[in-house]
Amino acid sequence: MLRNRLGHTFCTRLLVQAVDALFLAAGGQGIFLEKPLQRVWRDSHAAAAHISLNWDAVTTMYGQYALGLEPKGQY
């Protein structure tokens, strides 16, 4: 279960990095509300902020599990 959560978290991290790269490449045009890229940027960052996709929290729990310790965290 933690291995799956680690994979989901890593995919989310990669997604946010890709969207950030696109957002920077778009320049000033990317911030306007009528541009779909700003919505993708906001949505991806909002999803990544969810506790179950928090990279630091999930990797800490997975590290505890991998070392044979009882994982402590939100889940």
Domain limits, the chain? 2-66
Q: Specify whether the CB–CB gap between 62 and 2 falls below 8 A.
A: yes
Instruction: Return averaged pLDDT per consecutive 10 residues of the chain, 75 residues in all.
Output: 92 96 92 92 94 90 93 76
pLDDT of residue 30: 85
Say how far apart CA 9 and CA 15 lie, in whole Å. 10
pLDDT of residue 51: 86
DSSP for 27-59 reads GGGGGSTTSHHHHHHHHHHHHHTSGGG-HHHHH
Q: Kind and range of the H or E element at 67?
A: none
Retrieve residue 34's tokens. Answer: 């009528």
Q: pTM for the full model?
A: 0.81
